[in-house]
Amino acid sequence: MRSFTYERANTPVEAAAAVARVPGAKFIAGGTNLLDLMKLQIEAPTHLVDVNGLKLDTIEPTPEGGLRIGALVRNTDLAADERVRRDYGVLSRALLAGASGQLRNQATTAGNLLQRTRCPYFYDTAQPCNKREPGSGCSAIDGFSRQLGIIGVSDACIAINPSDMAVAMRALDATVETVRPDSTTRTIPIAEFHRLPGDTPHLETTLEPGELITAVSLPPHLGGRQIYRKVRDRASYAFALVSVAAVIQRDGTGRVAVGGVAHKPWRVEAAEADLPRGPRVVTEQLLASAKPTHDNAFKVMLVERTLGAVISEARS
């Protein structure tokens, strides 16, 4: 860990400005991802701006009938919120499927969206990795890639976004609200928030330097059966091999987003029309351009079978 300076910001704009001002500065929220990466010197910020005191930790109804979740709301609190449990069950379930109780107590909504990949080569600073060190190469493509991406991958990087929460938010069409150092604000649809790796796998989101997430908004609730199915090698405390977030209505129509397959939560709206026809046709469209490796080819079938299980659960 390199030495760094630290400050507590008082307002969101101040925080954004502070990060923009100091080269190499970063926000710190729960610290559950950032600190681990700093200890391994995968991240080496020069300055940390602590956003925990910004009072962005409430969940409020929106005039449109949705919910606005403050960026600092802890994963535990979000999962337990009565409105979330009632109207956005898929989100609550996705959160509870992630990490452990202790981590969820500390992890924040914004931090969760911005958690970095779990590619094992990313974690070993002696190995080439384009995401950690642009231009150094990708060790995973011909290496151990069982956990990694099958779609939207590039020749530079096949890493995945490991967040469970984000997959549910993608199914719900959440929007990310931000403030920039010049105090302008904007909202980014979740579909446009995470990037595909392309030639720049080190750029993971469309946030600009210093741009601070202030909230995530959920549109009015959709009803339907809301299911989050996370498939993993052990029963708890493991990242997903594949996950499916689904909102399925009585008539069999609905939405699905898939985790564990790409650099972002994966959703193909056009495929959803075929949900009543069963998992195969939907998966064929969802994963039409899939480019799995030898190690992770099984994920294609796993997505289809998991989706099948989710659809039958919704019907039952």
Residue 201 beta carbon to ligand FAD: minimum distance, rounded to whole angstroms: 15
Q: Which is nearer to ligand SF4, 130 or 296 (CB)?
A: 130
Instruction: Report d(CA 118, CA 127) in Å as an integer.
Output: 14
Can you tell me whether residue 94 is helix, strand or coil?
A: helix
Q: Which of 192, 194, 196, 190 is nearest to 216 (CA)?
A: 190
Q: Kindly state the number of chain residues that form the binding site for ligand FAD, as judged by CB under 6 A.
A: 30
Residues 294 to 313 in contact with ligand FAD, rule: CB under 6 A: none
241: contact with ligand FAD by CB under 6 A = no
Q: Which residues in the 217-236 window bind other proteins by CB under 8 A?
A: 231-236
Q: What is the number of the residue whose Cβ is closest to ligand FAD? A: 111
Can you say whether the dihedral through the CA atoms of 104, 67, 266, 122 is positive or negative?
A: negative
Q: Which does 301 bind (CB under 5 to 8 A by kind): ligand FAD, ligand SF4, other proteins, none?
A: other proteins
- DSSP codes of every residue in 132-184: TSTTS-BSSTTS--TTS-SSS--SS-------SHHHHHHHHT-EEEEE-TTS-
**End-to-end Cα spacing for the chain:** 52
Q: Is 2 in the site for other proteins (CB under 8 A)?
A: yes
The residue range among 36-44, 149-157, 185-193, 201-209 that interacts with other proteins, by the rule CB under 8 A, is 36-44
Alpha helix stretches (DSSP H) within the chain = 12-21, 34-39, 75-80, 82-87, 89-96, 101-106, 109-113, 165-172, 269-272, 279-286, 298-315
Q: Let me know: does 120 contact 128? Beta carbons within 8 Å.
A: no
Comparing CB distances to other proteins, the nearer of 18 and 286 is 286
User: Which of residues 20, 51, 159, 242 is near ligand SF4 by CB under 6 A?
Assistant: 159
Binding mask 189-208 for ligand SF4 (x = CB under 6 A): ------------x-------
Among 13, 99, 150, 172, binds ligand FAD (CB under 6 A): 99
Smallest separation, CB 44 to ligand SF4 (Å): 17
Subset of 118-137 contacting ligand FAD (CB under 6 A): none
**With CB under 6 A as the contact rule, which of the stretches 4-12, 76-84, 130-138, 289-297 interacts with ligand SF4?**
130-138
Nearest to ligand FAD of 30, 279 (CB atom): 30
- Helix axes 165-172 and 89-96, enclosed angle (nearest 10): 170
Copy the structure tokens of residue 90.
């898929």
Q: What residues numbered 11-40 form the site for ligand FAD, per CB under 6 A?
A: 26-34, 36
Q: What DSSP string runs through 264-301?
A: S-B--HHHHTTGGG-HHHHHHHHTTT----TTTTHHHH
Q: What span, in angstroms and rounded, lies between the C-alpha atoms of 1 and 259?
A: 31
Q: Which residues bind ligand FAD (CB under 6 A)?
A: 26-34, 36, 51, 71, 98-99, 103, 106-108, 110-112, 114-115, 162-165, 212-213, 239
Q: Which residues bind ligand SF4 (CB under 6 A)?
A: 117, 119, 121-122, 129-131, 138-140, 148, 157-159, 201
